Amino acid sequence: MNLLKQASWIFALSALLAGSVSAQPASDAPLPEAWFAISETGPWVVRIAFDARQTADDLYQRIDVWQIRHDEGVLEALVSADEAQQLRGEGFVLAVAEEKTRTLARLGIPLPDQGGGIPGFPCYRTVEETYATAEAIVAANPGLATWTDVGDSWEKLQDPNNGWDIFVLELTQSTVPGPKPVFFANFAIHSREYTTAELGTRFAEYLVDNYDVDPDITWLLDHHEVHLMLQSNPDGRKQAESGLFWRKNANNNYCSNTNDRGADLNRNFDFEWNCCGGSSGSQCNQTYRGPSAASEPEIQVLQNYVRSIFPDQRGPGLNDPAPADATGVAIDVHASGELVLWSWGFTFDPPPNGTALRTFGRKLAFFNDHTPLSVRELTNADGGSSDFYYGELGVAGMGYELGTQFFESCTFFENNILQVNIDSLVYGAKVARTPYLTPAGPEAFDATAPTDPVSPGELVLLTATLDDTRFNNSNGTEPTETITIAEAFVDVPPWDDSAIPLAMIASDGTFDEGVEQVETMLDTTGLSGGRHMLYVRGTDSAGNQGVVAAAFLTIDSGSIFADGFESGNTSAWSAR
């Protein structure tokens, strides 16, 4: 085997086995006053050089692979002493990832005086704390949030006094009638991936905190539904919170009475389950697919819920496309690898809506700076979530791989993962009405109007930015177009049949670039007192219409209207 050499980080594993590796504190260690030696008996997180994609695929099914870098020819995995010895005997070159290996020794140990959170990682809420936060969100926002028990975990089914209910937090303004497009995201299906459930919980807090404050979040929750399954695998998560490297659910029928028991829930979906060598049939393997498709209660709950909120928009054939105007977005949030992923996972052949999925993925990856690629470009995986979302229902299914490790430090999470991924999720929710169309169009953002109340009849300046180029092109280049049209809408969003578009102009006088500052002077004659919503939308030369941006405009309610116009009547408006 012609193995790649990675001289900058490779050192002999035998030195570790001989006890010659010194223990040094990590710079962002969760325990700043202490550090932990690397065990001489394992397990270790190691980097393994490989020379072919098939080699990486084969290793993925044999050992506990944590991350794959095809561009470097290196993967990271958790290995025991026996596994390390066997791999070295096969000619693989292994190097210990020292900081990540030391992190393993910290798991399950709380910080001094730590109050809440996972032991050693106070920024990550436990299952109980996640549920309590969701309940508090509903209590504080009864017209905006609901918290629904949608089923039981494996342990709960065995013993009603043990295990967990699985809940969904739904966010939408209930006073605005539907139907509304749906955005769904599930978190922590792989229980040891600490960052995921916390990102979902912070995302929910961000949405409710900014509703009625940020106009873009306001229209999003007025006209869309956001459904969040914050803990998809609570049984497994409790195992991971105790300091175990737990990935699967806790089903004790497989690899019984060991810390490797359970099934990999992200290989258990019933679309193309066990079709193509992308999962394991060995019960103790970390990618064990379960004995049959959707055998696990957690996946039954998840699939049933998703089928209840999304229509089936795709034919039964593998090459049947969803219609271009199909609705709905579903995202499965994982760690780690800094990736945005889409279908398929079991074949390199692109799905029938592959071009649109790729465009959407590159747009999501613009915000979090993750690498966009199909699942199969990463590894062979069958029975996975994004393939179910898209293949079963025609929904735009995506996957995130957050950050650089499962047990991410709070410092890195807060500074490098949190806000950029909230921004990415917000964008994903905004395009849920038509995810195969909207991401190709110019995104509108930074819409601005006067922040102080204005008198009726006053001319006001509305400005925004339209950008057709905001894609992550780290894995191929997304085509972009010149912006040709900018429009404003008052109170009625542009997707409503009664919306009346008002033309905007390019601030530099000509629509001739992929990025344009746009503006218009709006006459407020006829608007009633109070707050109004202004929407801005752009169209490019290919006819693609992008996501809208919004601004609040308040008319002085102390003024007297002689014409009697009601709020929302845009017939009295003009653009000058």
The mean pLDDT of 102-112, rounded to a whole number, is: 91
pLDDT for the residue 6? 35
Average pLDDT of span 169-196 = 97
Q: What is the CATH class of 13-106?
A: alpha beta
Average pLDDT value for residue range 264-289: 97
Q: Two tokens at 343? A: 């279908």
For the segment 407-446, what is each residue's pLDDT rounded down to a tens digit? 999 999 999 999 999 999 999 999 999 999 999 999 999 9
Question: Would you state the pLDDT for residue 37?
Answer: 61
Domain limits, the chain: 13-106, 140-193+214-437, 441-575
Fold classification of 441-575 is Immunoglobulin-like (2.60.40)
Please tell me the distance from the alpha carbon of residue 318 to that of residue 391, in angstroms, as a whole number: 7
Compute the average pLDDT of residues 112-135: 96
State how far the Cα of 440 lies from the Cα of 151, in Å rounded to an integer: 37
Give the whole-angstrom CA distance, residue 540 versus residue 403: 34
pLDDT in tens, 205-221: 999 999 999 999 999 99
CA distances from 565 to 85, 446, 456, 561, 572 (A): 80, 29, 11, 8, 8
Q: How many Cβ atoms are within 10 Å of 501's Cβ, its own excluded?
A: 15
Q: Which pLDDT score, from 0 to 100, does residue 31 have?
A: 41
Transcribe 75-144 into DSSP letters.
Answer: EEEEE-HHHHHHHHHTT--EEE-HHHHHHHHHTT-PPTT--SSBTTBTTS--HHHHHHHHHHHHHH-TTT
Which of 17-31, 239-253, 522-536 shows the lowest per-residue confidence on average (mean pLDDT)? 17-31
Token code pair at residue 471? 């894609």
pLDDT at position 14 is 38
Task: Judge whether 13-106 and 140-193+214-437 match in fold.
Answer: no
DSSP reduced 3-state for 372: strand
pTM of the model: 0.91
CA triple 404-405-411, angle to 5 deg: 75
Predicted confidence (pLDDT) at residue 5 exceeds the cutoff of 90: no
Under the banding of pLDDT at 50, 70 and 90, the label for residue 41 is confident
Per-residue model confidence as pLDDT tens digits over 316-335:
999 999 999 999 999 999 99
491-518 pLDDT per residue, tens? 999 999 999 999 999 999 999 999 999 9
Compute the Cα dihedral for 522, 525, 526, 532 and give only its sign: positive
When the candidates are 2.40.30.30, 3.40.630.10, 3.50.50.60, 3.30.950.10, the CATH number that belongs to 140-193+214-437 is 3.40.630.10
